[in-house]
Amino acid sequence: MELIIFLIIGALAGFAAGLFGVGGGTIIVPLLFIVFTQMGYSPDNIMHLALGTSLATIIITSISSLMAHNKKGAVMWPVFKNLAPGLAVGCFLGAGIAGQISGLYLQLIVGVFLLWVAYKMFFGGKKQLASRATNASSANDANTELPSKPKQLAAGGVIGIASAIFGIGGGSLTVPYLTRYGVVMQKAVGTSAACGLPIAIAGALGFMFFGMQQQVNVPNTIGFVHIYAFLGISVMSFFTAKLGAKVAHILSPALLKKCFAILLTVVGCYFIFKGVL
């Protein structure tokens, strides 16, 4: 029965990720939080399990996304090589930091993050369109002036830590970082997709390792990663993401983003409300 529930979550998460053009973690974490709560798991572990499992599922989806973007030549591999070590180390350490934060505070932190993402999606549409128009005027990377390798490494560390605490693949942070320095949107998204892999692997391993240190008493888990949830969500989201992307091309992108922003606002407020109470 549990596996069926997780297959349904995977189908919803994948479809929504493809439909709204966001990372699956933004969808998976709230859904897992609700399901784990209904299953009666300890409130101290629910948020950690949702974050760790979310990062584990992103391993599969990031591989699929990476391959698709690489075929189009949209991955800046030299930039990836500079960011990846910091991303991996930062995300592993971020899992350790998250493990030391109580479930209540993690809930509040993720709630605020979801509200921030909702704000960016609702009010940032025009800015993103303007940015894409500007980037489209340049067919090469002549305007790209990225920081030095040590600074990119440090930036990767910060993005990695934040990704672990929020349970995301880092796209919400990596894309703005790259576009800020003149990287065209298509390559920023493609490189961000590649960066999601070291984030997801290191984050999942980190939540497993630090979860085992705390001896989490939840069935079918390795540390803070729920195995059934990982399998069910990974399998279904891989297929339904493509369906969501097809539907997205039929509907209005602006309307879709606003609708999703409203949904994130509701979920973010729910997290904060539950945390305060």
Enter the pTM of the model: 0.85
pLDDT the model gives residue 37: 92
Cα–Cα distance, 208 to 32 (Å, whole number): 17
pLDDT the model gives residue 111: 92
Cα–Cα distance, 41 to 48 (Å, whole number): 11
3-class state of residue 226 by DSSP:
strand
Cα–Cα distance, 240 to 246 (Å, whole number): 10
- pLDDT (tens place) for every residue of the chain, 277 residues total: 788 889 998 888 888 777 766 667 888 898 899 999 999 998 889 999 999 999 999 888 888 788 878 888 889 999 999 999 999 999 999 999 999 999 889 999 999 998 998 888 777 655 544 444 444 444 444 456 789 999 999 999 999 999 999 988 877 789 889 988 888 888 888 898 899 899 999 999 999 999 999 888 888 999 999 999 999 998 888 788 778 777 766 877 677 778 878 888 998 898 898 777 6
Contacts of residues 258-264 at CB distance under 8 Å and 24 or more positions apart, as own/partner, are 258/121, 258/122, 258/125, 260/16, 260/19, 260/20, 260/22, 260/118, 260/121, 261/117, 261/118, 261/119, 261/121, 261/122, 262/118, 262/122, 264/26, 264/114, 264/115, 264/117, 264/118, 264/121
pLDDT the model gives residue 94: 96
Retrieve residue 75's tokens: 């991955």
